[in-house]
Amino acid sequence: MVRHAQLLGEWIGDERHGVVDFRKHVPWYTKGFSVGSELRRALGLASGLTELTELLAQVDQEQSWPQSADGPRGRTSGAHRVVLPEGWLDDPYDCAVPDAEAEQDTSGG
């Protein structure tokens, strides 16, 4: 977990932001393990690698791999249909945005 957070920090260019981005993965990593709600919550609020490392030191490293940790994690509802604006792929070398409204702050695009 620490290595994942560290790599995110290096990729983003800031340790704190890397750890903050990593926090969304805590439920995935801790699924099925005996962590406890308070520690799981604290891991989800960690703001630095040192804090994350200290919190993970509280996890029982001797527990066996839980059966509930096997299987799919994350989205399991299948692929989502991708919809692009009309003409988006007509010319792969054209950098212009075909729909000017896609760049508006209120469009959600």
Domain ranges of the chain: 2-60
What does the pLDDT read at residue 94? 79
Average pLDDT, the chain: 83
**Rounded Cα–Cα distance for residues 95 and 79 (Å):** 27
Question: What is residue 84's predicted lDDT score, i.e. its pLDDT?
Answer: 80
pTM summary value: 0.62
Please tell me the distance from the alpha carbon of residue 74 to that of residue 44, in angstroms, as a whole number.
Answer: 16
Encoded tokens for 72: 């799919």
Residues of the chain with pLDDT under 50: none
Residue 107: predicted pLDDT: 53
For 108, other C-beta atoms within 10 Å of its C-beta total 6
pLDDT computed for residue 97 by the predictor = 65
**What pLDDT score does 45 carry?**
94
Tokens, residue 81: 């249909």
